[in-house]
Structure formats: C-alpha cells, structure tokens
Amino acid sequence: MEKEQALQKIINLSNQLNQHNYNYYALDKPTISDFEFDKLLEELITLENQFPEFISPNSPSQRVGGTITKEFKSVKHNYPMLSLGNSYSVEDMIDFDRKVFEGLQIQANDLFNTNQVQYVCELKFDGLSIGLTYINGELQQAVTRGDGVQGDDVTNNVKTIKSIPLKLQGNYPNVFEIRGEIFLSKHVFESINKEREQIGEVPLANPRNAASGTMKMQDSKVVAARKLDCFLYYLLGDGMPSQNHFENLKIATSWGFKTSQHSKLCHNINEVLDFISYWDVHRHDLPFEIDGIVIKVNDYQQQKQLGFTAKSPRWAIAYKFKAEQVSTQLLSISYQVGRTGAITPVANLQPVQLAGTLVKRASLHNADIIEKLDIRINDFVFVEKGGEIIPKIIGVDFTKRKRENIKTNYITNCPECNTELVRKNGEANHYCPNENGCATQIKGKIEHFVSRKAMNIDSLGGETISQLVDAKLIKNIANIYDLKKEQLLSLDRMAQKSVQNLIDGIEQSKQVNFERVLYAIGIRHVGETTAKKIAKNVKTIDALIALNKEQLLEIDEVGETIALSIIAFFNTPQNQQIIQQLKTAGLQFSLSPEALAKTGTKLNGLTFVISGVFNNYSRDQLKELIELNGGKNVGSISAKTSYVLAGDNMGPEKLKKAQSLGVKIISETDFETLIA
C-alpha cells in the first residue's frame, strides 16, 4: 500500500473508531458489535505498525496501553481543584440555599417556590477526580486532584479509558478543561477481586480505592485491562458555549464526552431535596457506587458573584449519604482457606436486609479486626455496606451483649487439615503452611493451574478436581499428567466421551507457552502480567531458579515481595519435585524457538528512554526488543540512563535534559546495530 493510501485509511479507521466509541459510551447506543469493533482496531494497529510515522498520540490504538511511566510528574492546576463543603441533613441544605440567596443579595419571599436561583443536582460518583485539558479538540493532559493546587500527570493511563474521548467532534473551544470522576463499575470491581484471589492476593476493599490505585500504576497496559470508566461534569475555560452549567453539560455530550443522564436542573431547594430523597433510596440500583449528591448553582455569573472560601466554592455543596447500617446477630464465625493458605474469618449472620440485598455473611478480615472490635459469637453487631461491595462489621452493640458471650479466640490450626497456623512478621493474615497436604489448598492450586489464562484445561472443572483429590488420584498439579482413562472412568458422571475430552485437553496443555506455565504453577504474588515479564527476561525456568534476590529485583515488575516469594517457592523441596515432574511430562519451561530468536543479552544492564516517531518500528515494538535483549525501559532521563533512543520530533525538554546530563542519544539505525 502506498503511503498516501495508508494515511487516508488510518484517518478513516480512526474516525470510525472514534464515532463508535462516542455511540457506545456517550450515547449508550452502539451500532456495531464488540467483535466488529475489535476487527477495525486490529486493522488500524496493523497499518500503524507498517507506517509508524502516521501514529497520532491520540489514535484509538493508544487505548490498549503499553506505555511505562516510572514517575508521575507533578503539574500545577490552571484552576484550583477545590474540594466541596459537605452537608448531611435537610437543615444543612436549607441553610446552604439561604446563604446562596444572601450572597446574591436576593430577597426571596418563599425559599421553596422561587425560580430566581436554579440548581443542578448531580450524582456524587465515588472515584478519583480528574482534570482533562483539550487543545484544538485533542486530549493534551490529564491531571489528578492531588492537593488541589497541583496533581499528578496521568495522561498515558487516562488514554486507556474508552469513555474519555481522545479527539472531539463538533464546535468546541480551542482550549478548555473538563473535570470528572474516574471510577470502577461494581461488576468490574468484583471481577478484579476474583482474579486477585486466584493469584493469592488480598481482595481490594472498595471500588474507590481500586480506581485511585489503578491510576498510579506504572504500566498503562495493566490500567487498560482494569476497564476504568469516567463521567465528566464540569467545564472550565474561556469561550464556553453557554452561560449556564446545565446547558454546557448537554453540549459537552455532543463533543464526545460521557456525562451522567441522571443530572437534573432544579428550580428551587424543594426540588433539590426531592432529588436527594429519591437517590438515597435508589442509589443501590446503579451499576456504580455513589456516596451522595452534588448541588451547584447553574448560572456562571451567579457562581462568580458567590465566589470561594479558602477551601471550597460557595456556589456548590455535597450532600453525603449516611453509610447504610443495620444491626443483626452474629451466629458463628467460619474460617476459609485460600489457594495460598491464607485464612479468612467470615461472620455468619442472622439474615438481614441491607442496601437492597439480603446479607447473611460479612468479612471479618483477620485476627486483629476481631480483637480490636471485641467481636463475640451471639453479639449483636453493626453491619455496613457504604462504599464497600462486601458487607463488613464495623462494631458491636454492647448494650445487647450477654454475660455468657465469651471472648473469641482465633483458631490456631487449619480448619481443613489441622496443621498449626503461622503468621509472618508484617502480615495481617494467618496461613496454613501445609500447602502440599491441605486438601482445600491443593484443590485451589489445581483449579488455578487448569484455568483459562493458565493451562486452559477447560474439561477439568471444580467438581471433577474435588473427586480426584478426595479419591487420592491426584495430590498436586503434576499428578494431572499421570491420569489414566481407567481411573477417570471410575468417577461419577464420567463417560467415555467426557474422559477422552479430558485426556485430549491435558495432552494439548503441554503446548502452552512458558509465560502461561510460569503463571499456572501458582507462585504467590506472580500474576499473569508479571509472569510474562519474568519469562521474557529469564528465558528458562532453570535460569529463574538460579537467580538471587538482587538479580530478581532487576526484572521489570518484580519488587521485593515478589522476589522473596519466588525464592521461597523454588526453595521448597515439594515444589522442586513438582517442577521436575512437570518437566518430565513435557510442559514448556523455556521460551519457544520463535520467541528465543528475538532475544539476546546484548543490552544487559542498559537502560533506555524512547522519544519521538520512528520509521521501522512502533514505540511498543522497540520497548519489546529492548526487554527481549536484556535491556530495561524507563520513563524519564536521569544520569543513570544508558541511551536515549530518539526518532523524529523528539521532545525538546528530553533533548535538553539528555544533553545536560551527557546521556548518549542514538538513532533507530544505531539501535539496530546494537542488537544485530
């Protein structure tokens, strides 16, 4: 394809994808299937890889992530990002309304029946505040609230959020800022926690903290996988199309922004109170968390007249919902054993309605929480949902405690295998150390091993695994490869066809690549992404086993916790034996010849900063080549940087910094020579 044809095709595909994103996220009216959208995106990425000079920083392809940000630069807000004053009662809201009228010097005969001041009521989303700057219709910068004066530049991560437009449509101002809230839907949050439990990590407490933590992740590809969402709710800048807030929100939707359809223009404080009352009841029906209502004066001139206090605007306030609480009786405490041996105490409650659902159980987290709250069986306890998806006990109703309610002694032995529990320094959880003898842990490890993202033996389900373990036909993941047809046929509901499917699935799993095998064996804290990074760096399982802590820490994504976990795993005799059995079975414990052909050690110990546009490679391809050859990508230039790999249009600030620090700047051709 000629360059001109390619450029036109890239422009057309980008426009199509931007329109489909707008239809899906802003209008909630998709016109093509996810499969069709993905095919268009694949076509665009293929073309951009062939013609990297035509890649725009705001191309739809940039939403898949891949940029690594080691340090988030602090940026001063053009307009202070102040917090709102809070109110908790009808009286507070009436007082706010009175102060607005006084500040505007308006005499109101009836505060409940006047159109002199209009208010916009908006849902108060429970997430992370963000400010987005657009210049000539393209996203230029995304900055978190920070301390209100300055925040962190998280532009690369924000580009992965599909509901935030990278390029606008329609008639918009040349330069403006729009603010909003980044959040995780309830469904996505639950999926993330399920995955964390599978790799032996503690579930996240609530969607708000999860969204905030995701925005500070260094790898934007991981951020993209989290499926964050965003509602935009406030425009700032000169040349706004309307002089009132509510109208501007409607117009912003036509530019491509996702704004909440639940916002309402109210003509008096009585209508505001009705809005608050409605959502206090119906907020639990929403697919995302809210913790209140934001009320803003609609007219910009009136906002200006009311002004600000030192901390917040006088023309806006947040009404905070009280976290829903109920009192119910604690019937018993059960203790669950996770795949990694972590013990989780669970409160079994007298069933009670809370936030629209029937609650029967609540997490007690760990022994410290039980002791701190002095929770005892048969106590009446206060249960809260609030911003949490999982109900939690927040206290005990001591007025109802009976003398016979004895102090809770945390279990000392595993509820499944009776092994004495251990608790490591600095950790909140107790653990069962009998990882290769505790039936629950064994079943959990096997379920993880055969899961779709690991060995993908989908014909080996949880029920069959339980039967095999209970019948002592398998004791660990390696035993799967010793199974015979006759053994399987002896199990309940296992006929010839299902047994053959299982045997075939086990055999096919021997072709699964090293990266997934490394994830499948279940090293604590080593998730799917980390396993890929490690595999590409070490090339073989034997090389990984030979590394010490300092060498492990040199691998991207590996911190001290993961390094120590890897060392502990391979120092365990039972795990050593399992790895040997899996090797004998024929699993892939080294990179494939195709992957190895791309790897080398020529860049060992070297760090690179990539800047500019390149002719033969995309930036992601260059980063992969650096990692495959033993080098390391960093986001910012320092005296420790080995090379700056510079293409066309290298950033002037990076060029200046590299020259001032004496860091060598190399071209694409120089780089090819380095790895030749």
Most confident stretch, 64-78, 95-109, 216-230, 432-446: 432-446
DSSP 86: E
**For residues 273 and 319, what is the distance between their CA atoms, to the nearest angstrom?**
10
pLDDT of residue 211: 87
- Shared fold status for 3-64 and 607-675: no
pLDDT of residue 39: 81
**For residues 342 and 421, what is the distance between their CA atoms, to the nearest angstrom?**
9
The amino acid that residue 123 corresponds to is: L
The upper half-sphere exposure of residue 322, i.e. CA atoms within 13 Å in the direction of its Cβ, equals 8
Once rounded to an integer, what is the mean pLDDT over residues 95-107? 88
pLDDT of residue 113: 52
Once rounded to an integer, what is the mean pLDDT over residues 168-185? 94
Reported as a pLDDT band with limits 50, 70 and 90, residue 109 is: low
**For residues 24 and 161, what is the distance between their CA atoms, to the nearest angstrom?**
13
The upper half-sphere exposure of residue 527, i.e. CA atoms within 13 Å in the direction of its Cβ, equals 15
Once rounded to an integer, what is the mean pLDDT over residues 486-510? 89
* pLDDT reading at 110 higher than 70: no
Once rounded to an integer, what is the mean pLDDT over residues 215-237? 88
Residues 523, 594 contacting (CB under 8 angstroms): no
Once rounded to an integer, what is the mean pLDDT over residues 556-582? 91
pLDDT of residue 191: 84
Q: Could you give phi then psi for residue 505, rounded to 5 degrees?
A: -65, -40
Identify any residues that bridge with 665 across adjacent strands, giving them in sequence order. Answer: 644
Reported as a pLDDT band with limits 50, 70 and 90, residue 71 is: confident
Once rounded to an integer, what is the mean pLDDT over residues 313-338? 90
**For residues 8 and 6, what is the distance between their CA atoms, to the nearest angstrom?**
5
**CATH classification of 325-400 is 2.40.50.140, yes or no?**
yes
Identify any residues that bridge with 236 across adjacent strands, giving them in sequence order. Answer: 177
For the chain, count helices (H), then strands (E). Answer: 25, 20
Percent helix, strand and coil across the chain, each rounded to 5?
40, 20, 40
Residues 471, 448 contacting (CB under 8 angstroms): no
Give me 484's structure tokens.
Answer: 């015979």
Query: Which has more pLDDT, 553 or 65?
Result: 553
Identify any residues that bridge with 337 across adjacent strands, giving them in sequence order. Answer: 343
The amino acid that residue 656 corresponds to is: K
C-alpha distances in angstroms, 393 versus 202, 327, 387, 406, 433? 18, 10, 13, 18, 28
pLDDT of residue 401: 93
* pLDDT reading at 477 higher than 70: yes
**For residues 307 and 294, what is the distance between their CA atoms, to the nearest angstrom?**
17
Once rounded to an integer, what is the mean pLDDT over residues 265-283? 93
* pLDDT reading at 64 higher than 70: no
Look at residue 399 and give its three-state secondary structure. helix
* pLDDT reading at 628 higher than 70: yes
* pLDDT reading at 529 higher than 80: no
pLDDT of residue 389: 58
**For residues 127 and 231, what is the distance between their CA atoms, to the nearest angstrom?**
10
pLDDT digits (tens, 9 = 90+) for 6-57: 888 888 888 888 888 877 766 767 788 767 777 888 888 888 888 888 888 8
Q: Is the dihedral of CA 53, 621, 75, 121 positive or negative?
A: positive
Once rounded to an integer, what is the mean pLDDT over residues 514-531? 90
Most confident stretch, 101-105, 116-120, 223-227, 630-634: 116-120
Q: Where does residue 411 rank: exposed (0-12), middle (13-18), buried (19+ CB within 10 A)?
A: middle
pLDDT of residue 324: 75
**For residues 155 and 167, what is the distance between their CA atoms, to the nearest angstrom?**
14
Give me 545's structure tokens.
Answer: 């086993």
- Homologous superfamily of domain range 86-320: DNA ligase/mRNA capping enzyme (3.30.470.30)
pLDDT of residue 406: 94
Instruction: Please give the share of the chain, as a percent, with pLDDT higher than 90.
Output: 47
Give me 663's structure tokens.
Answer: 């860091």
Once rounded to an integer, what is the mean pLDDT over residues 637-648? 88
pLDDT digits (tens, 9 = 90+) for 576-626: 999 999 999 999 999 888 777 666 778 887 889 998 888 888 777 788 788
Residues 407, 376 contacting (CB under 8 angstroms): yes
The stretches of 451-527 forming alpha helices (DSSP H) are 462-470, 485-489, 496-508, 514-520
Extract the runs of DSSP E, i.e. beta strands, from 310-432: 316-320, 325-337, 343-354, 357-363, 380-384, 392-396
- Homologous superfamily of domain range 3-64: Helix hairpin bin (1.10.287.610)
The amino acid that residue 181 corresponds to is: E
Report the alpha-carbon angle 124-127-131, nearest 5. 90
**For residues 346 and 468, what is the distance between their CA atoms, to the nearest angstrom?**
28
Query: Structural domain boundaries of the chain?
Result: 3-64, 86-320, 325-400, 439-511, 514-597, 607-675
Once rounded to an integer, what is the mean pLDDT over residues 464-485? 92
Of 3.40.30.10, 1.10.150.20, 3.40.50.150, 3.60.21.10, which CATH number belongs to 439-511?
A: 1.10.150.20
Reported as a pLDDT band with limits 50, 70 and 90, residue 114 is: low
**For residues 147 and 97, what is the distance between their CA atoms, to the nearest angstrom?**
28
Element (H, E) at 135: strand 128-135
pLDDT of residue 205: 67
* pLDDT reading at 95 higher than 60: yes
Instruction: Please give the share of the chain, as a percent, with pLDDT higher than 70.
Output: 95
Reported as a pLDDT band with limits 50, 70 and 90, residue 546 is: very high
Q: Count the Cβ atoms, other than its own, within 10 Å of residue 157.
A: 28
Active site (catalytic) residues: 124
pLDDT of residue 650: 79
C-alpha distances in angstroms, 261 versus 26, 276, 316? 10, 16, 20
Reported as a pLDDT band with limits 50, 70 and 90, residue 498 is: confident
Reported as a pLDDT band with limits 50, 70 and 90, residue 67 is: low
- Residue in 270, 258, 263, 269 with CA at minimum distance from that of residue 247: 263
514-597: CATH number: 1.10.150.20
pLDDT of residue 70: 64
β pairing state of 607-611 and 632-633: parallel
pLDDT digits (tens, 9 = 90+) for 366-403: 999 999 999 999 999 999 875 555 688 989 999 999 99
Which CATH architecture does the domain made up of 607-675 adopt?
3-Layer(aba) Sandwich (3.40)
**Cα 612 from chain centre:** 29
Contacts (Cβ under 8 Å, ≥6 apart) of 665: 643, 644, 646, 655, 658, 659
Residues 296, 315 contacting (CB under 8 angstroms): yes
Look at residue 645 and give its three-state secondary structure. strand
Average pLDDT, the chain: 87
Gyration radius from the chain CA atoms? 29
